[in-house]
Structure 1
């Protein structure tokens, strides 16, 4: 449970919406489904790239099931504040788990996490450098294995696949992290075409241009509503996981 979203009840009570990181990743896979219109290319090798997007955060499942408490805030620990060493351990589980999909899935997920580390404050730390050097070497091996089987997959395709995974990851996080009430334009999309979403009532987003091949897209996540209070430990958080709620969104063309 590592996406922590503030929520205010109709009564005025402050709550936290805890969305499992693995559920967010599944949402990113749902958003990637039926993609590829209005200048946006379909997923590269979807038999690999789609499950890689869907499962790129599977390493978080154990943490989702036993959310730790941030020692400073006394709230469930957000993925944004997860210590570097713990993040590396979780990312490694995601990368290792992707072996059941393909070496290319391992490559894409590892590249994604390497980029996250490279753009973080801990990129130059000893732990950061060890993580990056380890996976730079492994990524070369995984990509070589993939290209031996799929020689037609050139560097342009590979780079597009990485951009697709990263875009849908961010699209999903953007939905999960807060209630969206203002128009937003995604400028860093896989084709570097702008995509604007305009919130309406009841979770509807008018979307321009229309990037999916279906008439509308309906997606959802589930999470727990818990009191916004100090927590002693994981057991204290688990004792409050009694109110499971669903968030849903519907995207429609302009």
Structure 2
């Protein structure tokens, strides 16, 4: 969670919302002067989901018991951070929105329905097709109105909740979060493996862990960092071995490095926007683009020079939870404040300086 300080509140922003902003920036990247992302079908999901390991923690955040403040992501004990990073890497080592086999999904659903002495219907196929194409979790509300099945009662409109339950019971979909069984994605074992996604996101978090090692002093933190780095080194070696069978090293190594740099830069830019109100210019070097200058003006307007995006301007929004900037007695009080938080929006408009 990001704890952003404003004049009269702490603005709490989830890590997955920050990652969404990073992905929107990445998706908009590229024009006549700057090339678009390489392998966007693999790189964009890695950027979008690189903080998905935070989902459960952000749904039930904790305070720092010494200060009573909501814990910012930079204030976590390293054992907790590395466990969250590990989960994020696991998620990104599968290609979100890219099933290993649509036919395998259909077969699993059909086998389960057969065990229930039921038949696969057109409505089942329609809902499954939506999950096969989705890059974000789906809920009952996000499903379109179902049409009556041609082989059934012409007046019977399939119930979306029942169709979702069928896919869930069949093991085709799974809750996006264990604590929230209203949003669903394809089951993880049905997603295509993404060694590149794993390598890019693992490299990102290994870099963060190495930097944290320079600033942390407790033996518990240092031990958690060392364990994480050792574990990730072994995973990275295995993913490299898998990819080496598909492409020569002189192509693979630059691709791994390039994707990692994009993950890091869009993460950095999103955090620059989300973590504080800015009044000083900012520079960030992007692969193949050199230094990009970001100059904040007022009301969230940011001048960007040179302009690297496809559209003439780019608007981004995030909905933080504004809570009183007063110490909380315990985690429960924090959760109550978040539940009672009024609606709020942070908005940025990026525009060309030329």
Q: TM-score, normalised by structure 1?
A: 0.91
- The reply on whether 1:217 has 2:309 as its aligned counterpart is no
Residue of structure 1 in register with 2:299 after alignment: 202
Deviations 1:21-79 (A, max 9, x none): 11101110011112124754321211111110010000001111111001122110010
Displacement of 1:194: 0.9
Residue of structure 1 in register with 2:46 after alignment: 52
1:229 counterpart (326, 329, 340): 326
1:115 counterpart (178, 193, 207): 207
Displacement of 1:122: 4.1
Residue of structure 1 in register with 2:28 after alignment: 34
Structure 2 gap segments, 5+ residues each: 96-193
Structure 1 range deviating more: 34-43 or 188-197 = 34-43
Deviations 1:144-196 (A, max 9, x none): 3234345584322221110000000010001011111232222x333361111
- The reply on whether 1:165 has 2:263 as its aligned counterpart is yes
Q: What is the Cα-based RMSD across aligned positions, in Å?
A: 1.9
Residue of structure 2 in register with 1:250 after alignment: 349
Q: TM-score, normalised by structure 2?
A: 0.66
Structure 1 gap segments, 5+ residues each: 9-13
Larger radius of gyration: 2
Are the equivalent residues in 2 in contact too, given 1:163–1:190 (CA < 8 A)?
yes
Question: Secondary structure at 2:349's aligned position in 1?
Answer: strand
CA distance in structure 1 between the partners assigned to 2:297 and 2:224 by the alignment = 44
Displacement of 1:104: 1.2
Residue of structure 2 in register with 1:11 after alignment: none
User: May I ask how many residue pairs the two structures share in their alignment?
Assistant: 247
Displacement of 1:250: 1.0
CA distance in structure 2 between the partners assigned to 1:5 and 1:243 by the alignment = 16
Residue of structure 2 in register with 1:70 after alignment: 64
CA distance in structure 2 between the partners assigned to 1:153 and 1:233 by the alignment = 52
- The reply on whether 1:138 has 2:132 as its aligned counterpart is no
